[in-house]
Amino acid sequence: MNREKLTPMMQQYLDVKDENPDAILFFRLGDFYEMFFDDALLASRELEITLTKRDAGLEEKAPMCGVPYHVASGYISKLINKGYKVAICDQMEDPKFAKGIVKREVTQIITPGTFTDTEYLKSDLNNYLLSIFIHGYSLNLTYSDYSTGEIYFTEKTFLSKSELYNFLQDEIDRISPNEILLNDEVTSKFKEKIKRDNIFLNPYLSDNLREINLFKDLGEYFSKNFKENLKNFLLSNNISDYTSLKKILQYLVVTQKINLKHINNIKLYNNFDYLILDESSKRTLEVVKGLNTFSKKGSLLDVLDKCSTSMGSRKLKKWVESPLVNLNKIYERQNLIEAFTKDLLLQDKLEKILKEVYDIERLVVKISNGSVNPREVYSLKNTIVNSKKIKEILEIYKNDYLNSLAREFIDLSDIYEKIDALLIENPPVVIEENRIIKEGYSEDLDELFKIATEGKNWLLDFENKERERTGIKKLKIKHNKILGYFIEVTKSFLDEVPDDYIRKQTLVGSERFFSVELKDMEGKLLGSKERALTLQAEIYNGLKDYIAVEIYRIQILADKLSNLDSILSLAKVSNLNNYVRPDFNQEGFIEIKNGRHPIVETYMKDEFFVPNDTFIDTDKHMIHIITGPNMAGKSTYMRQVALITIMAHIGSFVPCDSANISLVDRIFTRIGASDNLSKGQSTFMVEMQEVADIIDNATAKSLLILDEVGRGTSTFDGLAIANAIIEYIAENIKAKTLFATHYHELVHLEEKYDSVENLTIAVDRQDDEIIFFRKIIKGFTNNSYGIDVAKLAGIDDTIINRAKEVLYVIEKENEDISIDLNKEYIREENHNPEIMNFIDKLKEINILEISPMEAFNLLNEIVNKSKELQ
């Protein structure tokens, strides 16, 4: 493209575009944001808006499309949700007064990880931006929700490369950021992997992230408070490198182009502080997303979230995704939950107040950038009042835990009073010409508004007076933007117009005049109104500045409110679903009496959920091999144990009659490939990769849930692998393990290892129908009941009967080659030597050769034998 030929405006456009090559540029032209060239092609397609052309000075016209500025936010959010960045280029001067081309500048770059539009953000989800810095065998991570000002940092040193990338993957799965900043040392293989999840990647090397000095170059953007915190944070935590933190702050400054007063506090976290749930475990246990719904519905979080505020829902999600491993912290939550479960009225009372609480956590970004509107400030005031009510209720309650919770609610009366003194009740969202400042707050303002109102009355009087004086009944005083105030007289009365009226405008049916008296008043009126609005804006800005200084305290209150809301939600669910408070032990066992699956039980309507006991330890009951037919309830049982363990670590109460849990460091859940079809990863390879990950990472303090592992390949090698894995766990990892399998051949391992125990789920056959008892018992089953389940599923009898014939033959044949290592357990039913002899005898008979009498005798013998055997 020959740039010299371009029109000056197009040159300006391209200069701005050059600075923001990776963003779609919204270029303000009058009442529209326009896009040109490739951006226009892309945006018109993604937003389904018409593509037009504009003369750019070149031979060919430039592709163009645009959206009206006042509805731009909807289009922007659409692009952000599709994973694009949008740079907003505004007019920096009024085009009316511009000399030459209007000055334009990029005022904000909106990116997937910095998007804050509360109208389009999901209220119960955080929107995270993650920054990754890998250096040799160390890494540090920082992630932040710009809308709330949260910042979290962690550092790891001396990791092996595989540990490093495993950790990184786990963190990305846990945080699920919408955008990532990363340095060049991150391998391209890993980058490719994240890109597949549609996360926007920004290399540290990009122009936006050039080297800076956080304290010097960016210092002016942050509050003093934050700079102090940051220095203390770096010193007191012995942090050796914090590049990821620098880059994230820099990126926020560069994209938002405003100061960041709401970023106040950095939290150091360590993954040792949490029970680690990798992506696969989180998914199969349906911790925050249902397997079938791909949304919150059907998940543990869905069961537990009865929060009254979005702040609470976001907090609870963090708790559920990062269960605790510190007993004292767990007890803290338990104590509060217990107090609340004992008083439903108290729950109710607090809930009602919380429902009136505003999302002040997400308000802070607006307070910080000055865009907070009067309605929102008013909501802040009400939230302070409501928090005070909550504090008072908790203070006087006869319970030490609730009393200390009350003390955490800090006092924001000063902010309340400041707002209350000047802001009217129920103010409008937009100020424009509305009055939002209380009468009595400012004498000057009252006076100016008084003149404006009095002016209105004067005009009415003036109209009456002039009608009487001139005798023109239809004389009217009107106002428009161009003429100001004027007197309107219809054509038929023109003769009666007095001499002192001065003609201003002639219309088809009427004439417009003004008089000296009217002109004088107009001057006073417009002047006072303008001054009133300016003064009002000044007062309101003063209020905003005042609040902006107090953001830190507002954030503390938001944190306490969301904690309370989450605790209340857990208490409410405990009451609702009959949960109990779990105990904890140091001996490493998990004992559950009458445990239930927290999600499945809530979806049972006509049937009852059958509760089951669990005892699993690090000694004689370490590895449980669970056999039983399809549909018996193996998977449900194992997940229930994992979920109850997770809930206990969250600090929640749990679905059972009693539970005694020991802390675990990780929970691994693996589902055999063919059970995992829904994710489209049905390959045996994935199954084995996941197992490899367990072997690498599991410790004696982990809980392993292995469901039909070894299933994705042929029977014999699947069995061989499953067998070898259990042996490895028993001999090397020594982790508490539940292993469901259809390979009943594996039950022999109980003999080989003290730590292995066989469990099965009771079923019975009655009248050729299979009955599921859903009860877990000691022992094993050597029958898969596959054909019974098929029959239950409604498969035609012809097929069922034929399958039985085929099965018989196969089982018979396999007996001889059956696996050597478990001879004494296999096919117990048919092991009865008497039956075997009898069957062998039958096989020798040649039907064509025997006489009818011999056949009759044989049949008789069969009947008797079978009676005898029953």
* Least gap, CB of 677 to Mg ion (angstroms): 13
Contact string 465-484 vs Mg ion (x = CB under 5 A): --------------------
Rounded-to-10 torsion of CA 274, 706, 658, 296: 60
CA angle 544, 547, 551 (to 5 degrees): 130
Partner from ligand ADP, Mg ion, none contacting 630, C-beta within 5 to 8 A by type: ligand ADP
User: Of 13 and 637, which CB lies nearer to Mg ion in the complex structure?
Assistant: 637
Per partner kind, with CB cut-offs from 5 to 8 A, the member of Mg ion, ligand ADP, none near residue 636 is: ligand ADP
Q: What is the C-alpha to C-alpha distance for residues 307 and 123, in angstroms, rounded to an integer?
A: 12
List, as one string, the DSSP characters of 247-270: HHHHHHHHHH-S--TT---EEE--
What dihedral do alpha carbons 434, 377, 125, 195 form, nearest 10°?
Answer: 70
Q: Which CB atom, from 147 or from 640, has the smaller least distance to ligand ADP? A: 640
Q: Which residue lies nearer to Mg ion by CB, 144 or 635?
A: 635
**Long-range own/partner contacts, residues 207-214 (CB < 8 A, 24 or more apart):** 207/19, 208/250, 208/251, 208/254, 208/255, 209/181, 209/247, 209/250, 209/251, 209/254, 212/246, 212/250, 214/246, 214/249, 214/250
Site for Mg ion in 625-654 (CB under 5 A): 635
CB atoms within 10 A of CB 771: 12
289 binds, among Mg ion, ligand ADP, none (CB under 5 to 8 A by kind): none
Beta strands across the sheet bearing 62-68: 52-54, 62-68, 32-36, 23-29, 85-91, 104-110
CB of 581 to ligand ADP, least distance (A): 22
Vertex 360: Cα angle to 119 and 396 (nearest 5): 140
- Tell me how far apart the alpha carbons of residues 8 and 279 are, in angstroms, rounded to a whole number: 53
Does 629 carry a binding-site annotation? yes
Q: Report the residue number, 368 or 635, with the smaller CB distance to ligand ADP.
A: 635
Q: Closest approach of Cβ 669 to Mg ion, in Å? A: 12
Pick between residue 255 and residue 635 the one whose CB is nearest to Mg ion: 635
| Binding at 633: pick from ligand ADP, Mg ion, none (beta carbon under 5-8 Å per type) | ligand ADP
Is residue 9 annotated as involved in ligand binding? no
Shortest separation between residue 701's beta carbon and Mg ion, angstroms: 26
Output the 3-class SS for 381-423.
HHHHHHHHHHHHHHHHCCCHHHHHHHHHCCCCHHHHHHHHHHE
CB 283 to Mg ion: min, Å: 15
631 binds, among Mg ion, ligand ADP, none (CB under 5 to 8 A by kind): ligand ADP
Q: Which is nearer to Mg ion, 242 or 668 (CB)?
A: 668
Annotated binding residue 569: no
644 binds, among Mg ion, ligand ADP, none (CB under 5 to 8 A by kind): none
CB neighbours (10 Å) of residue 786?
14
Query: Is 560 annotated as a binding-site member?
Result: no
Q: In sequence order, which residues have a C-beta less than 8 Å from that of residue 193 and are 6 or more positions away?
A: 169
Look at residues 562, 536, 549 and name the one whose alpha carbon lies nearest to residue 374. 536
SS3 161: helix
Q: If contact means CB under 5 to 8 A according to the sort of partner, which of ligand ADP, Mg ion, none does residue 622 touch?
A: none
Q: Are 707 and 670 contacting, i.e. CB atoms less than 8 angstroms apart?
A: yes
Query: Which of Mg ion, ligand ADP, none interacts with 443 (beta carbon under 5 to 8 A by kind)?
Result: none
User: How far apart are alpha carbons 681 and 670 in whole angstroms?
Assistant: 13
Which residue, 52 or 682, is less far from ligand ADP as judged by CB?
A: 682
Comparison of 112 and 629: residue with beta carbon closer to ligand ADP: 629
Rounded CA-CA distance 614/757 in Å is: 12
By beta carbon distance, the residue nearest ligand ADP is: 633
Q: Known binder of ligand: residue 631?
A: yes
Q: Which residue is nearest to Mg ion (CB)?
A: 635
628 labelled as ligand-binding?
yes
- Residue 718 marked in a binding site: no
**Which residues between 554 and 593 bind Mg ion (CB under 5 A)?**
none
DSSP at 758 = E
Q: Alpha carbon 665 to chain centroid distance? A: 24
Nearest-angstrom CA–CA distance, 461 and 455: 10
CB of 580 to ligand ADP, least distance (A): 18
- Whether the Cβ atoms of residue 140 and residue 271 lie closer than 8 Å to each other: no
Residue 646 to residues 295, 474, 520, 718, Cα–Cα distance (Å): 20, 80, 77, 30
CB of 672 to ligand ADP, least distance (A): 10
Binding site for ligand ADP (CB under 6 A): 600, 607, 609-610, 628, 630-636, 774
The nearest distance, CB 772 to ligand ADP, in angstroms, is 7
634 labelled binding-site residue: yes
63 vs 595, beta carbon nearer ligand ADP: 595
The one of ligand ADP, Mg ion, none whose footprint includes residue 632, by CB under 5 to 8 A per kind, is ligand ADP
* Least gap, CB of 604 to ligand ADP (angstroms): 6
The smaller minimum CB distance to Mg ion, of residues 368 and 635, is found at 635
| 368 near Mg ion (CB under 5 A) | no
Q: Least distance in Å: CB of 653 to ligand ADP?
A: 20
- CA-to-CA distance for 376 and 365, rounded, in angstroms? 12
Q: Which residue, 78 or 775, has its beta carbon nearer to ligand ADP?
A: 775
Calculate the alpha carbon distances from 67 to 30, 74, 451 in Å.
Answer: 11, 10, 41
To ligand ADP, the closest distance from the beta carbon of 769 in angstroms equals: 16
Binding positions: 628-635
Residues at the site binding Mg ion, with contacts judged by CB under 5 A: 635
Binding positions for ATP: 628-635
